[in-house]
Amino acid sequence: MLKEKSAGMIVFRQHPEQGIQYLLMYHQGEYWNFPKGHVEEGESELEAALRELAEETEITKIKVIDDFREQTQFIFKEKHGSKVGELIRKDLVMYLAEVPPETNPKISQEHNGFAWLTLPVARKYLKFKNLKEILDEAEERIKLLKNET
């Protein structure tokens, strides 16, 4: 089994009418997910998450929430490229970042679209249980942030 490590960012904004919204990307017409990608050699997990966010969305004006780092892993069968059919164990590290309310991404060719979604809707769009759980953790951390201010 091949092993991979990826890092990504749960991006949220405070919408004036709808409250907290999360950015999900529609990946190659197949599924909704957070901006994320492979950690490259010599790169920290956070550096990879920030790079992937910039590459996939052109979003660079963010405030990373310092004490949020969630990790999960999953196994899947590769559908694209030279590793088609191989089983891959992916370790995924997710960070949390806030963007200004007017922020909208400029998506890369990897994606077919994006959406800003409230927690209940974002949970419906996410395919994997472990990502829904990480999103729930992010929501709890954001609530704590609001109480700290």
Structure tokens at 41: 């050699």
Cα separation, 148 vs 86, in Å, equals: 46
pLDDT at 85: 80
Cα separation, 11 vs 13, in Å, equals: 7
* Long-range contacts from 85-91, C-beta under 8 angstroms, 24+ separation: 86/1, 86/2, 87/1, 87/2, 88/1, 88/2, 88/3, 88/4, 89/1, 89/2, 89/3, 89/4, 90/3, 90/4, 90/5, 90/6, 91/3, 91/4, 91/5, 91/6
For the domain made up of 2-148, give the CATH fold: Nucleoside Triphosphate Pyrophosphohydrolase (3.90.79)
Cα separation, 20 vs 96, in Å, equals: 13
Section 114-120 average pLDDT: 97
pLDDT at 83: 72
> What is the tens place of the pLDDT at every residue in 12-48?
999 888 899 999 999 877 789 999 999 999 999 999 9
Pairing between β-strand 63-77 and β-strand 87-98 as defined by DSSP bridges: antiparallel
Residue 87 contacts residue 75 (beta carbons within 8 Å):
yes
Reported pTM = 0.90
Short-list 112, 120, 135, CA closest to 28: 112
Cα separation, 112 vs 30, in Å, equals: 9
> What is the tens place of the pLDDT at every residue in 57-103?
999 999 999 999 999 998 888 776 777 788 889 899 999 999 999 99
pLDDT at 52: 96
**In the chain, domain spans:** 2-148
Structure tokens at 108: 């890369």
Cα separation, 113 vs 27, in Å, equals: 8
